[in-house]
Amino acid sequence: MGYREDRIVVRSMASLHRAQQMTSVYAVMLCVLILLFLQFLMLAAALEGYLAGKQLFVLPTAIASGICCALACKLIGYVLTPR
């Protein structure tokens, strides 16, 4: 009887660990989605500024977009690294 109970505990611990990993994956996916949305807004603002002739506005939005891209890549790398 004792051996069977140990197997159940080990199986439930593995299931709990998998559920925790999936929660972190979902959180990272949500953060990446928000970052991509922000990048799209910055791209739209940069293009609008460029077409309106406001050259000074383009460089800060490009830098901010690059930072968002770097953060999204870092988050994706966090999910892809084996543990």
- Which tens digit of pLDDT belongs to each residue from 17-39? 788 888 888 999 999 999 999 99
DSSP code, position 52: T
What is the model's pTM? 0.73
Q: Per-residue pLDDT for 50 more than 60? A: yes
Instruction: List the domain range (segments joined by +) for residue 54.
Output: 2-80
Closest CA to 72 of 42, 49, 50, 45: 42
3-class SS at 27?
Answer: helix
pLDDT of residue 67: 92
- Number of structural domains found in the chain: 1
> In percent, how much of the chain has pLDDT > 90?
24
Query: Quick one: pLDDT band at residue 80, thresholds 50, 70, 90?
Result: confident
Backbone angles phi, psi at 10, to 5 degrees: -65, -40
Average pLDDT of span 62-82: 89
